[in-house]
Amino acid sequence: MKNFSYYAPTRVVFGKDAQNQTGELVKQQGCKKVLVHYGSQSAEKSGLLKSICGSLDAAGIAYTTLGGVVPNPRISKVYEGIALCRQEGVDFILAVGGGSVIDSAKAIAYGLAYDGDVWDFYAKKAQASACYPLGAVLTLSAAGSEMSDSSVLTNEDGWLKRGYSSDLSRCRFAIMNPELTYTLPAYQTASGVTDIMMHTMERYFTHEKDTMLTDSLAEGLLRTVMYSGKDALKNPMDYNARAQIMWAGSLSHNGLTGCGTEGDWACHQLEHELGGMFDVAHGAGLAAVWGSWARYVYQEDVSRFVQFAVNVMGCTNDFAHPEKTAVAGIEAMEDYFRNIGMPVSLRELGIEATEEQIRELAYKCSYRDTRTIGGFKKLDREDMETVYLMAR
């Protein structure tokens, strides 16, 4: 097991009607004015936004609002938010939504504390030294951004999707009411389940040994999400299923399931380019490339994939032919994705990628042929291109 530092400072307020505590939680931060940042009109139509603002009013907290965040959040909305916050004297950012809204809020918080262009952080031109405080009211279980140190943005100039991580952006609090996810469309629920699983799987596929406890946490989380995901799709108002998924989403990306290991993250990097070029749902994009990545890399450590096949996917261990067991696990995972309505290829994702587009995806993912990705197996530009081709 590798040395590690585990840092999870976010206060979690979980359960039914938890959003009613928003005003008091914000008041505890000692702020004067809040930006309530949200996504689509569903926050307004559902009455959630009115409830949140009412809670702020009751606590005597001034606020202004900014909606319009879209999936694969745009840097242009971040610039709009920074300008609004400076104009209004905002000193706390409250994200009401899923990962896209929280990521956009984090970028606004970075930008308020920075004299330059906030994209500098995502373009790896600068490191943040400060960040305005923020909190979240979660409405979608997927990204885990409410407890993670990371955020991802899309720059319309070149349609580049890039991530940035810093402990400075960790939410002060995260309010989680599973009931707020009841009305999510099935595709969005399934995409969120996939994203949660992939956050753990990216950490799970490692060459580290002697990680029994971390592995057991990861395997238990994966089994729970798979089971609860099916239940939530059968009955969208199954509180227990929604609660398991929501809590797993936070634990999958706050570092817990990767303690002592070195993660891979190649699939996320590959998907970021798909999201940038084709604006696809993040979880669906991950499902579309994972099987091809797995087949391309599994021989680097067959035993790890055997462990996954047996402990997570419930496959029978063929001790005489470990590679067969490894491949069976990959196939079982793809079967699960199909079962919940997720794609396992670019074509199923609705993308008919040309060879030129494949080359462009790999070129961008390799940062113009200047970096490799992955920890389980290092992938250069040609490797990336091969995985994309396999995923077609």
CATH of the domain at 75: 3.40.50.1970
Asked if residue 6 is part of any domain, the answer here is no
Same domain? 283 vs 241: yes
Task: Tell which of 127, 154, 180 closes a domain.
Answer: 180
Supply angle C-alpha 383, 389, 392, rounded to 5: 145
Q: What's residue 40's pLDDT?
A: 81
Residues 310 and 380 in one domain: yes
What does the alpha-carbon distance between residue 265 and residue 22 come to, in Å, rounded to a whole number? Answer: 34
Q: Calculate ∠ Cα 194-330-384, nearest 5°.
A: 80
Q: What angle is formed at CA 372 by the lines to CA 367 and CA 375, rounded to 5 degrees? A: 140
CA angle 104/265/294 to nearest 5° reads 135
Q: What is the pLDDT of residue 54?
A: 96
The secondary structure element, H or E, covering residue 63 is strand 62-66
Looking at residue 225, what DSSP letter applies? H
CA distance 284 to 265: 16
Identify whether residues 153 and 38 lie together within a single domain.
yes
CB 153 within 8 Å of CB 74: yes
| Residues 253 and 109 occupy one common structural domain | no
- Domains held by the chain: number: 2
Q: Is the same domain home to 193 and 164?
A: no
Task: Indicate if 160 and 235 belong to the same structural domain.
Answer: no
The single residue listed with the structure tokens 């400072």 is 9
- Look at residues 141, 163, 180 and tell me which one is the last residue of a structural domain: 180
Query: Are 167 and 232 in a shared domain?
Result: no
The pTM score is 0.95
pLDDT at 205: 98
Q: Token pair 């634990």 is at which residue?
A: 251
* pLDDT in the model for residue 13: 98
**Helix residue spans in the chain (DSSP H):** 22-27, 42-45, 48-58, 75-88, 99-112, 119-122, 186-204, 212-234, 239-252, 266-278, 282-297, 302-311, 322-339, 355-365, 381-391
Token digits of residue 361: 């995806």
Eight-class DSSP state of 207? S
Residue 154 φ then ψ, to 5°:
-115, 130
Among residues 158, 180, 202, the one where a domain terminates is 180
The arrangement of strands across the sheet holding 173-176 comes to 11-14, 173-176, 134-138, 92-97, 33-38, 62-66
Q: Are residues 137 and 151 in the same domain?
A: yes
Domain, as residue range, for 169: 11-180
Determine the pLDDT at residue 41. 80
Cα angle 223, 229, 230 (rounded to 5 degrees) comes to 100
The two three-digit tokens of residue 38, written as one number:
């949200």
Same domain, 175 and 191: no
Per-residue pLDDT for the chain (392 aa), expressed as one digit of tens each?
A: 999 999 999 999 999 999 999 999 999 999 999 999 999 888 888 899 999 999 999 999 999 999 999 999 999 999 999 999 999 999 999 999 999 999 999 999 999 999 999 999 999 999 999 999 999 999 999 999 999 999 999 999 999 999 999 999 999 999 999 999 999 999 999 999 999 999 999 999 999 989 999 999 999 999 999 999 999 999 999 999 999 999 999 999 999 999 999 999 999 999 999 999 999 999 999 999 999 999 999 999 999 999 999 999 999 999 999 999 999 999 999 999 999 999 999 999 999 999 999 999 999 999 999 999 999 999 999 999 999 999 99
Cβ count near 345 (within 10 Å): 16
Residue entry with tokens 């592995």: 215
Residues 235 and 300 in one domain: yes
CA 300 to chain centroid, in Å, comes to 26
Residue 269: the pLDDT is 97
CB 232, CB 141: distance < 8 Å: no
Whether residue 337 is found in the same domain as residue 209? yes
Strand partners, 163: 152
Q: Does a structural domain hold residue 4?
A: no
